Structure 1
Amino acid sequence: MLFRLLQRFVGPRSWATPTVVIVFVFFTSWPLMALFESADSELVRPANYWWWFLVTTSTVGYGDFYPETTGGHTVGVYVIVGGIATLTTLFTHLATKLETARGKRMSGTATLHVSGHVLMLGYHSGRSERILDELLADGRHPVVLAAWDEVDRNPVPDRGIGFVRGDVSTDEVLRRAGVQRARSVLIDAHDDNEALAIAVTVDHVSPELAPVVALRDMSRAEHLRYVNSSIRCVQWHTPQMITEELLDPGITQVYAELVTHGGGEHLLVPAARLARTGDLRRVPGRSGQALRRNGTGRTHPERPVGQPGMGNPATRGQHAVLHRQATGLPGQDRPRDPRGGEGVTTSLRPLPAVGAALPARRNPSSNDPLLRS
């Protein structure tokens, strides 16, 4: 009856309910205990009663103080029942709060209190998991995923990331995801038009950020830079490069300069695969040595690069830029060797591993066979 009255006036989910109950039991049991116990009883003294009340309501029953009369025992039962009811109400209320908070996190309706994180705006099944795994493997920054309403629950609950759901082009959702405290932001939208709309909102909420935008049409990069000149645009179909740009800003520009240095057409190919063809030979290059295909199918007689079917240990596991400089414009005749080989020149330059710093100029006297002069 007491609990029903309290729930009606205080509220069934209020922290005040167990507090009011335990205070009521304490101040009603003490006079009753003093009434039934003898005047010289150690139990009813103020310095001792609160201790007895605490250990009794918690059902510990330490035993240093206890009532000796029948009336005192009855009051003790009243205190025990009040304590059990209070603890039950308290723990039930606590469990409800925890479950509600967990449900909000899973459904993406909670406001996250995180900073220095990487924020992913947009979710694509399979693709987003790959990016998330690479970000989490780096381990330097927490990750938050903000998805559209169509994703009703956290799609990766086992990753231990923050999750927010809603229209990611609105400032309300971005603020719940903590965009104003984020270290970096990835905009991975359904299409480039939506990416532009999200970029406008991100710039409005946090203009100091330089978002990474995954674009399907790189010609739209100019439009995005009207919003923020610091926006970094990456091809949508290169998730690994997107991850690198999020963790190490500017890495895509480094790669772009590597593959466009010197003009011409460049292709990224495995160096060991190129060496196994057996049609490359060493010639002087801008930075020491290069590999040139002479169109005859023969390698340099003094410095072979590789044998057919064998990989060169110096280039195994590396990548290279294959640079093709055409000797004529499309539609014009190109010089050809007597055996019908195309008149092209290829230069082989090793690239660093993804995320690694650019190598410094190496000593020409190094033991590396590719760098010997």
Structure 2
Amino acid sequence: MVQQLFHGFLRWPLVIRIFMIAITLMLSFGTVIHFIEPDTFPSLFDGIWWAIITTSTVGYGDFVPLTWEGRLLGIVLILVGAGFLSTYFVTLAAETVMTQNAYLEGKATFKGKEHVIIVGWNERTREVINQLTSLQSTCDIILVDETLQKNPYNNHHIHFVKGTPFKDSILKKANLNEASIAIITADQNKDEMTSDMNSVLTLLAIKGNHPGLYTVVEILQKDQVANAKRAGADEVIQTNMQTSYVMMNSIISQGMSKTILKLLNHLKGNNLKLIPVAEEYINENFHSLSGHLLKNNIILLGIKKGENTSVNPPLTTIVEASDELLVISN
């Protein structure tokens, strides 16, 4: 039993072990001095108080041993106890610095819940993080990247994990199983094929560890969209296709790109989103429902039925309970 307790004690963190040894020494020496000189140290607390003051080398002088036994005990306490206490404070300071560096360099494990995991560091990631922190200042964001040397943000809600995102050990550091959503961005420093392969591989690793996690993945090549969907992506963003659509709209209607960006900018109060159908609107047609929502300053753009989204559908389209409404609101 004693041996098991000793081995268990050795597995404790170093700073806790040193602290426990120092406390034990002070309690033991304080108890002994009380029995050696009961007149000078009338209570057990007085003895422990003297031991603490002596070990910390403060030396108030309110309690002083008078016998040679007591003074010898004080000498031993100073030589042994002060050394352990000094070691404790030095170790505590070193542990604090190491922990701070671990968080800064992306080596620490995140232990929170309901956080957002974003894979890859680029300008798109920077903009997503800025928007998220502006809309939800308390939202915890985990940035996973293997190229960054340290956390680019001085914000305790943004945690950095350095490493290859499709490795289980790195995903474990990001506390993947407790996350609410994962966003995988494409690495545009690589060629499109390699970038998409890495994105799909990361997606497979995430879904393999947490199949129920909602995932959004950015894909550059149209041919790789199917692979991303096979890997379990809940949403696939085709960056090149969306950019080409914006450019085409700018060719047809000059200035349209600014309008589209403003429409999608939640920080400007424009919220393009999908909302469930309220019970009172079930079985209404698109035209009637549009009028009801407009009274509440909500513009109805389309209806999502299953996987299919119809923008500006026929006015006679009936809205069902399982549908979602594509709207603009503020």
> How far did residue 96 of structure 1 move?
2.1
Over 3 Å counting, the alpha-carbon distance change for 1:270 and 1:195 in structure 2 is same
The answer to whether structure 1 residue 319 and structure 2 residue 241 are counterparts is no
**Deviation string for 1:150-207 (max 9, x for gaps)?**
43x2241424321112221122221221222111111113211211111111111111
Q: 1:79 to 1:118 in 2, by over 3 A?
A: same
Corresponding residue of 1:169: 166
CA pair 47-134 structure 1, distance change in 2 beyond 3 A: closer
Q: Provide the rounded CA distance (Å) in 2 between the counterparts of 1:351 and 1:60.
A: 67
Partner residue in 2 for 1:297: none
Aligned partner (choices 185, 188, 194) of residue 188 of structure 1: 185
> Quick one: which amino acid aligns to residue 230 of structure 1?
D
**1:20 aligned partner:** 21
1:142 positional shift: 0.8
Matched, 1:235 2:255: no
Secondary structure of 1:361's aligned partner:
helix
Q: What are the equivalent positions in structure 2 for 1:180-219 lying under 5 Å apart?
A: 180-190=177-187, 191-219=195-223
Of 60, 77, 80 in structure 2, the residue corresponding to residue 79 of structure 1 is: 77
Distance across 2 between alignment mates of 1:15 and 1:352: 52
Structure 2 Cα separation of the partners of residues 180 and 115 of structure 1: 9
CA distance, structure 2, for counterparts of residue 227 and residue 210 of structure 1: 12
| 8 Å Cα contact 1:218-1:235 kept in structure 2 | no
Alignment deviations for residues 243-301 of structure 1 (CA, whole Å, 9 cap, x no partner): xxxxxxxxxxxxx9xx9xxxxx8559999x69xxxxxxxxxxxxxxxxxxxxxxxxxxx
Paired amino acid for 2:98:
T
TM-score by length of 2: 0.61
Which residue does the alignment assign to 2:299? none
How far, CA to CA, are the matches of 2:72 and 2:183 in structure 1?
A: 67
Name 1:116's counterpart in structure 2: 114
Q: 1:149-160 alignment to 2 at 5 Å?
A: 150-151=147-148, 153-160=149-156
SS at match of 2:99: helix
1:96 and 2:94 are equivalent in the alignment: yes
Q: 2:322 corresponds to which residue?
A: none
CA distance in 2, matches of 1:236, 1:106: 34
Report how many aligned residue pairs link the two structures. Answer: 255
Q: Structure 1 residues 223, 64: CA separation in 2 closer, same or farther (over 3 Å shift)?
A: same
Tell me which protein shows more helix as a share of its residues.
2
Shift of 1:17: 4.0
The one-letter amino acid of 2:17's match is A
For residues 34 and 42 of structure 2, what CA distance do their matches in structure 1 show? 7
Q: Distance in 1 between matches of 2:209 and 2:60?
A: 58
CA distance in 1 between counterparts of 2:175 and 2:86 reads 36
1:210/1:236 CA distance change after superposition, 3 Å: farther
Map 1:202-351 to 2 at 5 A: 202-228=206-232, 230-235=234-239, 266-267=249-250, 319=259
8 Å contact kept, 2:29–2:48? no
> Does the aligned pair in 2 maintain the 1:33–1:72 contact within 8 Å?
no
Shift of 1:120: 0.9
Unaligned runs of at least 5 residues, structure 2: 1-9, 188-194, 274-289, 297-330
Q: What are the superposed Cα offsets for residues 224-253 of structure 1, whole Å, 9 maximum, x if unpaired?
A: 1122262342426989xxxxxxxxxxxxxx
Q: In the aligned structure 1, how far is the partner of 2:253 from the partner of 2:41?
A: 86
Q: More deviation in 211-220 or 175-184?
A: 211-220
* SS of equivalent residue, structure 1 residue 111: coil
Where 2:271 maps in the other structure, the secondary structure is coil
Q: Deviations over 1:69-98 (max 9, x none)?
A: 566455445434544323211111112222
Indicate which of 262, 267, 271 corresponds to 1:356: 271
CA contact (8 A) 1:210 1:230 kept: yes
Closer/same/farther in 2, CA of residues 63 and 320 from structure 1, 3 Å limit: closer
Unaligned runs of 5+ in 1: 1-9, 240-255, 260-264, 275-317, 322-349, 364-373
Q: In the alignment, is residue 132 of structure 1 matched against residue 115 of structure 2?
A: no
**Aligned partners of 1:30, 1:140: CA distance in 2, in Å?**
50
Partner secondary structure for residue 319 of structure 1 = helix
- Asked if the contact 2:22/2:85 (under 8 Å) is kept, the reply is no
- Name the CA distance, whole Å, in 2 between partners of 1:28 and 1:58: 14
Change in Cα spacing, 1:270 to 1:20, as seen in structure 2 (3 Å) is same
What's the TM-score, normalizing by structure 1?
0.55
Report if the CA contact (8 A) 2:26-2:48 is conserved: no
Greater radius of gyration (CA): 1
Q: How far 1:27 sits from its partner (Å)?
A: 3.7
Does residue 145 of structure 2 align to residue 144 of structure 1?
no
Q: CA offset at residue 128 of structure 1? A: 3.1
